[in-house]
Structure 1
Amino acid sequence: MSSTADPTNQAAVARKPKTPFKFLIPLIYAPVLPLIRLSLRRNPVLRDRLFTAVLAGAFIHGGYLVYPFSPLTIMV
């Protein structure tokens, strides 16, 4: 019998899963959006443009994550 510590038995060794950092990006967007609104209160033009750009980036990132599950890729 071979133990799980045996280097010749690679199938029994459990590999540590990689952390999917692309799914952790919303944890950055969540505090950044209110901080933009609060910190740039005195400059409304810059505040609105920066807020819109970051929000658009968040939606683009979300679309990138959802795109492989789109019905169009299944049909093709």
Structure 2
Amino acid sequence: MDSSSDSSNTHETVLKRQNRGPPFKFMVPLIYAPILPLIRLSLRKNPVLRDRLFTLVLAGGFAHGFYLVTDLYDSESK
């Protein structure tokens, strides 16, 4: 019985370690928000590059949001 109680104690400590730092994955939109208008303003003279870069960054933002939502649902189901 000692080995089973030891394994449950280590499992609890692992969960405590995961909650210590700030959730950087949720702070990424703070980077995306100012980058999108800067792309539009700084590349006004090159509309082809501007539109492609804007679309790429926007698609990356949506992919990141999709990843966060699926990660949230995976953690709730466990």
Task: Give the alignment's TM-score, normalised by structure 2.
Answer: 0.67
Higher relative contact order (CA 8 A, sep 6+): 2
Root mean square deviation, CA, Å: 2.4
Count of residues paired in the alignment: 59
CA distance in 1, matches of 2:33, 2:72: 24
State percent identity of aligned pairs: 68
Q: Which runs of 5+ in 2 are unaligned?
A: 1-16
Structure with the greater alpha carbon radius of gyration: 1
Task: Tell me the equivalent position of 2:12.
Answer: none
CA distance in 2, matches of 1:48, 1:36: 9
Choose which of 48, 52, 55 in structure 2 pairs with 1:52. 55
Stretches of 4+ aligned residues off by more than 2 angstroms: 68-71
Q: Which runs of 5+ in 1 are unaligned?
A: 1-14
Choose which of 37, 40, 44 in structure 2 pairs with 1:37. 40
Task: Tell me the equivalent position of 1:12.
Answer: none
